[in-house]
Structure 1
Amino acid sequence: MKLLPELAKKVIDEVRLTLNERLIIMDEEGVIIAATEQERIGTIHQGAKTVLKNKEKLYINEHNRKTLKGVKLGINLPIQFEGKIIGVLGVTGHPQKIESYADLVRKMTELMIKETYYIEQKEWQQRGIETFFHEWMNEEKMEKSIIQRGQLLGIAVGTPYICISIEAVDSNEKSVYSFMNDWFTHAFPKRQNDRLIRTLDGDFLLLRSVKKDEHEYERIKSELQRWRTNFLKLHQMGSFHAGIGDTLVSNQLKGAYTEARKACKVANQNKAIVFYNDLSLDIIFSEINRATQTEFMNRVLCPLLKETDLMTTLRAYLHHNQSIVETAKSLHIHKNTLHYRLNQISLLTDIDVKSSLGITLFYLALLFTDENSASFPLDI
């Protein structure tokens, strides 16, 4: 491991919170890379060079200070990482006064370096895993080399998974990422091969290894609801939606992830947690952007938008499966009045409300109008 200036500065800043002493850190060349006295950074410290050569601490006193360039009174101690000297710590002051805690400062420094190293290693490993999954999500066919790379990363590529897409959103992105990982690590009843990955789109991919019994999907939905409830307690202005793919993943992730994303997109518009297997027209609608939906809705319904009675009549007519008797009864009007209104709808829109094509056009337009409603779109 190479001791870099950024890490050295971080170490000094942290140690200074505990001990208000003058400190310097030198790299393996004896150059000062961090110091409480900024003007010393970048200079050669001959005391550090001596420590690096002899591999032992050096007391700098009034006698040897005159023969060593760039030094002050104090103690220089080797910084070790996994048995190798990677730098030198200097504590400024009279050696006899600071000796009692100089070794303590060195141990604190080494612990911080070790902790930082392992955190960085874990982050690098996580980034490697995320990169692998991003590639896996886009592969039509899994090459042997990709499978082997997954195995090296500890990913059980051949394990059957249920693919779940989660959109957890809040203005504080760091809080979202931290909460999602903490919940997955400590609160989610995960199994050995389960994975939670942050995708390039900012949502989360949850791969749930499959336990084959009839209650598996109910358990998943229940756990996602519990996850969502706790997320919204902490992020009251946020949102949490999930889509559960129907296809079990073995080597092919792309298809299952696409299913989960489509279900999640529908969930984001209608309800919190959606199974892909429950989708019908929603599959088509999820592929139509909002601008296109609005344009279609306006073309079909624009002449009726200010005609409250006609809009209510149209909804009732479709809701009651084009039954004249049931529609008139629900609206408390005579059948002749209903026929008159239907004729007015056809006249204003130039669409025959009694034809199969007309019914389809009006139905879709009303669905697009009410797509953000949690209720049945044709409720009256």
Structure 2
Amino acid sequence: MFELDRELAQDIVTRAMAILPYNVNVMDSQGLILASGEPSRIDTRHEGAQLVLSNARVVAIDSQAAACLKGVQPGINLPLFFDRRLIGVLGITGEPEQVRLYGELLRMTAEMLVAQRHQQAERQWRRQRSDDLMALLLEEGGDAPRLLDEARLLGLKPQLMRTPWLFELAGGQSAERLGDWLQGRYPDSWCVSPAAGSLLWCQPGASLDEPAQAQLLERVEAQGWQVLRVAVGELAEGVEGMRHGYRRVRDLLAYGRAILPRQRLLGLARYRLPTLLWHYRDDEAVRELLRPLQRLRARDAGGQLLGTLRCWCEHRGHGQACADALGVHRNSLRYRLERIAELSGVDPLRLDGLLTLYLGLQLLPEA
């Protein structure tokens, strides 16, 4: 239920007295003066206002009548209505015949300001409730029928297919403002800030391809946000799919931060297997993948052999392409690969050895 507050009452008084040569008072539904051009009258009872509240009608008080009432000056007092409910009183000091017209115009303006403030409060409540509801829906067990029904009533469309993006912003950047910007350009977006400097954006519709993802990141940064990195998932259906997608991009972002610190745009389609390995990085079977590389790194002071192995994996074991990328002769490349096999105990020239080393490299931080 909407009630007049001091801030709104003072706004009405300030606007009115910037135009009118008369004092203006605004009283609440109990006749207490909330705002006045005469500050000493604030928080006192206004008997004229109480007469208005008792009868829900305009009360004009001339000089003679004012002398009989406590704390009242000549003027006109008008009821303020919102949604057909009496919420307060507006008073203008002066002889009633002189200020009546001003009073009617001012009441109309004040009731418009009240309606506008109510709409703002309603929008703010809906926005806050929508944010809270989205956060609840993305938590484990957040698909209760009651929450889904409320989401539909608020127009959140939980049934839509969406793609999760998880942004990590530099310190001091406002994730909420970035969410507002994205929601303004992509209707039906969901935006939730799981932590300071972090924004989960559930982009409506199909996933963007890599060039389009890069273009969007450029547009975001052109607006002034400094993005450290962003993880982009795949199209998910409904709330349960979105919840699963959020877990995947959260793992992907953590993987990128630890293993690929220079990579700012991380797509799940490209890093699906490394992200899966990262999720189980504490498992002994996964840690075994790193041991051959740890032996190699201990004897590879300049990092040349590790760099060669990364290049070998990137070119899928194609000798000439790898040698050209490294700028060495194929014989030099073969010598390096033999040295890698000797130091790591795993032969990169064999398919099983190459696969073992490749998987281990996905968990080895880039220098």
Q: TM-score, normalised by structure 1?
A: 0.70
1:256 to 245, 263, 270: 245
Query: Residues of 2 paired with 1:150 and 1:254: CA distance?
Result: 15
Contact 2:162 2:242 in 1 (8 A): no
8 Å CA contact retained: 1:249, 1:256: no
Q: Which of residues 195, 204, 223 in structure 1 aligns to 2:189?
A: 195
Counterpart of 1:280, as a letter, is L
Task: Check 1:335–1:256 CA distance in 2 against 1; reply closer, same or farther (3 A cut).
Answer: closer
Whether 1:244 aligns to 2:233 is: yes
- Number of the residue aligned with 1:375: none
The Cα offsets for residues 10-60 of structure 1, whole Å up to 9 and x where unpaired, read as 443455566575332111110112233332221111010011122222333
| Cα deviations by residue, 1:296-331 (Å, 9 ceiling, x for unpaired) | 9997788578x43xx123312442358999769844
- Matches of 1:143 and 1:339, distance apart in 2: 58
* Distance change in 2, residues 1:37/1:341 (3 Å): farther
Name 1:32's counterpart in structure 2.
33
* Cα distance in 2, alignment partners of residues 304 and 94 from structure 1: 98
Question: Which residue does the alignment assign to 1:363?
Answer: 361
* C-alpha distance in 2 between matches for 1:336 and 1:243: 36
Aligned to 1:376: none
**Cα distance per residue 1:227-250 (max 9 Å; x no partner):** 544332221645673523343226
Residue of 183, 188, 201 corresponding to 1:205: 201
Distance verdict in 2 for CA 1:18–1:139, change over 3 Å: farther
Range moving further from structure 2, 195-204 or 351-360: 351-360
When the two structures are aligned, how many residues end up with a matched partner? 343
Cα-to-partner distance string for 1:153-197 (whole Å, 9 max, x where unaligned): 34444x2412323427466756x6346435533x33x4xxx2323
Aligned letter for 1:363? L
CA contact (8 A) 2:176 2:193 kept: no
The answer to whether the 8 Å contact 1:198/1:205 transfers is: yes
Q: d(CA) in 1 for partners of 2:70 and 2:93?
A: 15
Q: Which moved more, 1:315-324 or 1:18-27?
A: 315-324
Does the 8 Å CA contact 1:324/1:335 hold for their aligned counterparts?
no
Output the CA distance in 1 between the equivalents of 2:173 and 2:238: 29
For 1:136 and 1:361, the matched residues in 2 are separated by 35
Amino acid corresponding to residue 235 of structure 1 in structure 2? G
Provide closer, same or farther for how the CA distance between residues 219 and 7 of structure 1 changes in structure 2, counting only shifts above 3 A. farther
CA shift, 1:78, in A, is 1.2
CA contact (8 A) 1:245 1:277 kept: no
Write out aligned runs for 1:146-165 (5 A): 146-157=147-158, 159-165=159-165
Contact 1:140 1:252 in 2 (8 A): no
Identity of aligned residues (%): 17
CA distance in structure 2 between the aligned counterparts of 1:76 and 1:27, rounded to whole angstroms:
12
Residues 342/277 of structure 1: CA separation in 2 closer, same or farther (3 Å cut): closer
Q: Structure 1 residue 177 and structure 2 residue 176: aligned?
A: yes
Aligned to 2:219: 230
The 8 Å contact of residues 51 and 76 in structure 1, kept in 2 or not, is answered as yes
- The residue matched to 1:79 in structure 2 has which SS? strand
Amino acid at match of 1:196: W
State the partner residue of 2:267: 274
Match of 1:217 among 207, 213, 217: 207
CA distance in 1, matches of 2:298, 2:84: 81
Preserved CA contact (<8 Å) 1:12 1:35: yes
Equivalent-residue separation in structure 2 for 1:141 and 1:179 (angstroms):
25
Structure 1 vs Structure 2 CA RMSD: 4.4
Q: Is the 8 A contact 1:3 1:86 kept in 2?
A: yes
Task: Give the aligned residue type for 2:312.
Answer: H
Contact 2:179 2:191 in 1 (8 A): no
Change (3 A) 1:252 1:236: closer
In structure 2, distance between residues paired with 1:140 and 1:318: 42
Q: Distance in 2 between matches of 1:312 and 1:342?
A: 11
Tell me the secondary structure at the aligned position of residue 138 of structure 2. helix
* Partner deviation per Cα, 1:94-120 (whole Å, 9 max, x = no partner): 545444433222222211111111111
Residues 313 and 88 (structure 1), Cα distance of their counterparts in 2 relative to 1, 3 Å cut: same
CA distance in 2 between counterparts of 1:361 and 1:263 reads 16
